[in-house]
């Protein structure tokens, strides 16, 4: 019954998104309380402007008139095409937060230029780019850790400009690569519900073992500031002098056939294609695939398997060892580049974005319960040494990836990264999940601690922006001594703090990006994403059914109107808003707020989370929004 009711809600939400006004209730809140601009508000607006200017300076120096990135091209996952396009990884997000229109223009120029530039690449050691790195504008074959790195800016482009025709065509084409809509690229098996290889793309799945050359590519002549070098990070070296070591980095990265948990990242394509105009086939595919992973996780006792055979059975491609695979539970290898043992279990990289995507589409907590169960297993096997809690990070044969002994937990480490635990808490909003997250920084601020956090956080963003621009000015490289990964270290835009403070949103380091946030803003006068000029926002409290945000108009001369959305994709529903002690009922995902000159106030919203189907449509494209 609960599921049927939820599905009815989704049908109603879809009707709203398509323009029905049957259930709409227009609400406009007028803020006329005088508020001198707080320091955080002025800093927020200045950071948006400074970010936008920095992007322009960066593009002027490192992008030519065609949109080509000024560097030396190579194929490979160490410094290849995914790193080149990753240079612009958060430019579309910056625009959606309120960055300049020029930022979006430069991203589009850089994306189109990148696709043309790397189409010209040719390799001899691997067939993956013998006719170019892209086919039909998608990578020929790669693993989803690296595909995800390169596609972050594109998956967030719908937040900035969902009506862009190229974006819509590309997103649907790319999603179709994992739904067998391209007969030349049968990446997915609908019978066994598996993506058939670690290596997939526009050329289809790789159905044989990979080679080191597939991962590393050809050597190119010349001397470069090489980051992947044990001889000194960033030192000027002949690529040939380190090439053998680079190949040894990937000696054990060869197993490809069968599904891998990294492939759950492909659900980002299905999600975004669905959110364009709600074609059910994309949603159906995402849920079909993620439900299959749920079932496999039950089969392995609550452990998310890192590999699944072509028959859909966990580990059947490794004699039943579901903890194997490249980047899997037991991926303990000897890294010949670094000449030491390396533990590379990427358990958060695919499952976290995959299951959270299904949660975004359904609101069904089973998709995040599976992640909590996985985390519980870490804590159940924890150790305490010298007063420190150590959690296991690997599972399988402690001797390494190539051994087949009895599986066990190993490689205990102090709890360091909390970003995935933070994501889990923000999705569930359950206090038991918060207990595992240090209540400091932004999370501490939301819990009422350190009221100075907004200013301190924004100051940190300014500091990094200034350092990155200084690094850019002092950059010793030239296009013929610069590889694709060099620029990643100082790509200028700083968006993490703005996402947290303005939207109540959060991005972990998983490399796959979908905006899970409590709020988002639109400028109804300029018809664009992001708050209007002069408007600043600060989310200071979130609970499972409420959010509080202070909106400020820093202009003393002009009124501003902002549309406030419940959720990054309108997936939440506002129930009411309280301002200055007055509560106004609301029953839709948007509210219009008019801020008189020099005013501001704290708005407390009651809301139902995950009540609507997510959409990329902007308010004025839904037909039932307030027309100013």
* 535-558: average pLDDT: 98
- Average pLDDT, stretch 450-469? 98
Q: How far apart are CA 616 and CA 608, in angstroms?
A: 19
Both tokens assigned to 625: 């929004």
User: What pLDDT band is residue 418 in, cutting at 50, 70 and 90?
Assistant: confident
- Whether 144 is covered by a domain: the verdict is no
CB 194 within 8 A of CB 258: yes
- Could you tell me the two tokens for 621? 């494209």
User: Is the pLDDT at 170 greater than 90, yes or no?
Assistant: yes
The answer to whether 59 and 108 are in contact (CB under 8 A) is: no
- Phi/psi-derived region of residue 417, left when phi > 0, alpha when psi is between -120 and 50, beta in every other case: beta
394 forms beta bridges with 410
CA pair distance 458, 494, nearest whole angstrom:
9
Assign 5 a pLDDT band (cuts: 50, 70, 90). Answer: very low
Q: Is residue 243 part of a domain?
A: no
Name 238's bridge partners: 223
Q: How far apart are CA 607 and CA 510, in angstroms?
A: 28
Mean local confidence (pLDDT), 155-167: 98
380-403 b/e with 16+ CB inside 10 Å = b?
eeeeeeeeeebbbbbbbbbebbee
Task: Please say if the pLDDT value at position 627 is more than 70.
Answer: no
Alpha-carbon span 52 to 337, nearest angstrom: 38
pLDDT at 509: 78
Q: Burial of 447 by CB count in 10 Å (0-12 exposed, 13-18 middle, 19+ buried)?
A: middle
Length of the chain: 628
Task: Tell me whether residue 525 is in a domain.
Answer: yes
Q: What is the mean pLDDT of residues 501-509?
A: 94
Scanning 180-266, the segments in alpha helix (DSSP H) are: 212-216, 239-249
Taking residues 111-139, report their average pLDDT: 98
Instruction: Please give the Cα distance from 391 to 410 (Å, whole number).
Output: 9
In the predicted structure, residue 1 carries a pLDDT above the cut 50: no
Structural domain contains residue 605: yes
What local confidence, expressed as pLDDT, does residue 417 receive? Answer: 65
pLDDT at 155 over 50: yes
Report how far Cα 611 is from the mean position of its chain's Cα atoms.
22
Tokens 């809301």, residue located: 607
Q: What is the mean pLDDT of residues 190-197?
A: 98
Cα distances (Å, whole numbers) of residue 230 to 104, 223, 226, 235: 37, 16, 10, 10
Positive or negative, the Cα torsion across 470, 474, 480, 484? negative
Distance CA 150, CA 155 (A): 10
pLDDT of residue 234: 79
Instruction: Answer yes or no: is 571 within a domain.
Output: yes
Higher per-residue pLDDT: 306 or 386:
306
Structure-block tokens of residue 463: 């500091």
Q: Is it the case that residue 133 has pLDDT exceeding 90?
A: yes
Say what the pLDDT of residue 483 is: 96
Place of tokens 């990884």: 89
d(CA 194, CA 192): 6
Q: Which residues does 608 contact at the CB level (< 8 Å), separation at least 6?
A: 545, 572, 573, 575
Name the residue range of residue 8's domain: 2-31+518-621
Coil, strand or helix: which one is 442? helix
Give the model's pLDDT for residue 57: 98
Of the chain, the percentage scoring pLDDT greater than 70 comes to: 94
- Predicted local distance difference test score (pLDDT) of residue 380: 96
Please check whether residue 40 is in contact with residue 460, taking contact to mean a CB–CB distance below 8 angstroms. no
pLDDT tens digits, 327-366? 999 999 998 888 899 999 999 999 999 999 999 999 999 9
pLDDT at 69: 98
- Does residue 17 surpass a pLDDT of 50? no
Q: Specify the pLDDT at position 25.
A: 56
- Tell me, yes or no, whether 221 lies in a domain: no
Backbone angles phi, psi at 242, to 5 degrees: -120, 0
What would the two tokens of residue 155 be?
């998956």
Which residue shows structure tokens 């625009």? 95
Q: Average pLDDT of 163-178? A: 98
In a domain, 219, yes or no: no
In the predicted model, what is the mean pLDDT of the chain? 93
Query: Parallel, antiparallel, or unpaired for β 28-31 and 590-595?
Result: parallel
Centre a 10 Å sphere on the Cβ of residue 448 and count the other Cβ atoms it contains.
10
Comparing 61-65, 183-187, 202-206, 509-513, the range with the smallest average pLDDT is: 509-513
Rounded CA-CA distance 147/167 in Å is 17
| DSSP code at position 381 | T
Please tell me the chain's helix, strand, coil percentages from 3-state DSSP, rounded to the nearest 5.
40, 20, 40
Which of 101-110, 173-182, 290-299, 613-622 shows the lowest mean pLDDT across its residues?
A: 613-622
Structural domain count, the chain: 1
Cα dihedral across residues 531, 427, 51, 460: positive or negative: positive
CA triple 199-205-208, angle to 5 deg: 80
**Structural tokens at position 617:** 């449509």
Q: Which residue has the higher pLDDT, 582 or 513?
A: 582
- Mean pLDDT, rounded, for 364-387: 96
Cα–Cα distance measured from residue 350 to residue 262, given in angstroms and rounded to the nearest whole number: 4
Residue 96 near residue 618 (C-beta atoms within 8 A) = no
Q: Yes or no: say if 55 and 103 are a contact pair by the CB < 8 Å rule.
A: yes
Mean pLDDT over 610-617 rounds to 97
Least confident interval from 5-14, 65-74, 545-554: 5-14
Kindly report the CATH number assigned to the domain that includes residue 597.
2.60.40.1180
- What is the CB neighbour count within 10 angstroms for residue 34? 11
Predicted confidence (pLDDT) at residue 273 exceeds the cutoff of 70: yes
pLDDT digits 0-9 by tens, 479-491: 999 999 999 989 9
Give every CB contact of residue 243 below 8 A, 6+ residues apart in sequence: 216, 219
What is the mean pLDDT of the segment spanning 69-80? 96
Maximum distance among all Cα pairs of the chain, rounded to whole angstroms:
73
Token pair belonging to 391: 């959690």
Cα angle at 562 between 603 and 492, to 5 degrees? Answer: 100
Query: Is residue 523 a part of any domain in this protein?
Result: yes
């Amino acid at each position: 019954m609960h599921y049927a009711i939820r599905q009815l809600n989704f049908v109603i939400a879809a009707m709203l998104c398509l323009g029905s006004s049957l259930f709409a209730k227009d609400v406009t809140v007028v803020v006329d309380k005088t508020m001198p601009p707080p320091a955080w508000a002025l800093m927020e607006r200045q950071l948006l402007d400074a970010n936008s200017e920095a992007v322009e300076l960066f593009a002027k120096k490192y992008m030519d008139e065609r949109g080509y990135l000024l560097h030396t091209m190579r194929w490979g996952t160490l410094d290849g095409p995914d790193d080149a396009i990753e240079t612009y990884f958060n430019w579309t997000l910056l625009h959606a937060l309120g960055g300049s229109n020029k930022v979006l223009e430069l991203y589009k120029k850089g994306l189109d230029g990148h696709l043309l530039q790397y189409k010209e690449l040719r390799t001899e050691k691997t067939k993956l780019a013998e006719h170019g790195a892209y086919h039909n504008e998608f990578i020929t074959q790669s693993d989803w850790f690296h595909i995800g790195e390169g596609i972050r800016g594109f998956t967030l482009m719908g937040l900035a400009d969902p009506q862009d025709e190229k974006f819509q065509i590309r997103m649907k084409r790319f999603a179709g690569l994992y739904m067998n809509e391209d007969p030349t690229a049968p990446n997915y098996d609908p019978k066994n519900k598996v993506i058939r290889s670690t290596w997939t793309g526009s050329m289809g799945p790789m159905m044989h073992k990979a080679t080191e050359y597939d991962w590393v590519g050809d050597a190119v002549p010349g001397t470069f500031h090489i980051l992947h070098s044990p001889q000194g990070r960033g030192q000027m070296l002949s690529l040939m002098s380190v090439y053998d070591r680079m190949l040894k980095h990937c000696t054990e990265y060869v197993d490809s056939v069968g599904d891998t948990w990294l492939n759950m990242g492909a659900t980002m394509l299905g999600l975004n294609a669905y959110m364009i105009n709600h074609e059910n086939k994309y949603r159906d595919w995402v849920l079909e695939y993620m439900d299959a992973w749920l079932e496999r996780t039950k089969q392995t006792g609550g452990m998310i398997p890192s590999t699944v055979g072509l028959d859909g059975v966990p580990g059947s491609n490794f004699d039943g060892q579901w903890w194997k695979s490249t980047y899997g539970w037991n991926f303990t290898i000897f890294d010949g580049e670094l000449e030491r043992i390396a533990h590379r279990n990427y358990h958060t990289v695919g499952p976290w974005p995959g299951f959270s995507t299904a949660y975004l589409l359904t609101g069904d907590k089973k998709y995040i319960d599976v992640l909590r169960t996985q985390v519980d297993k870490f804590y159940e096997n924890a150790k305490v040494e010298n007063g420190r809690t150590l959690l296991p990070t690997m599972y399988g044969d402690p001797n390494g990836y190539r051994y087949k002994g009895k599986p066990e937990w190993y490689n205990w480490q102090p709890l360091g990264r909390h970003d995935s635990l933070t994501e889990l808490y923000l999705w569930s909003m359950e206090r038991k999940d918060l207990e595992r997250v240090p209540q400091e920084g932004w999370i501490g601020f939301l819990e009422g601690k350190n009221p100075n956090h907004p200013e301190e956080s924004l100051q940190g963003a300014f500091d990094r922006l200034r350092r990155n621009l200084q690094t850019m000015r002092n950059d010793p490289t030239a296009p013929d001594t610069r590889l694709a990964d060099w620029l990643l270290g100082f790509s200028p835009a700083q968006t993490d703090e703005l996402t947290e403070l303005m939207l109540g949103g959060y991005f972990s380091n998983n490399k796959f990006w979908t905006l899970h946030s409590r709020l988002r803003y639109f400028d109804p006068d300029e018809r664009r994403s992001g708050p209007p000029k002069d408007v600043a926002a600060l989310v200071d409290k979130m609970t499972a059914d409420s959010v509080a945000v202070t909106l400020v108009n820093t202009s003393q001369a002009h009124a501003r109107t902002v549309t406030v959305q419940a959720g990054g994709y309108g997936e939440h529903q506002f129930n009411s808003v309280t301002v200055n002690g007055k509560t106004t009922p609301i029953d839709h995902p948007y509210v219009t707020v008019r801020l008189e000159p020099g005013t501001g106030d704290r708005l407390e919203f009651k809301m139902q989370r995950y009540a609507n189907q997510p959409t990329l449509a902007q308010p004025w494209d839904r037909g039932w929004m307030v027309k100013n």
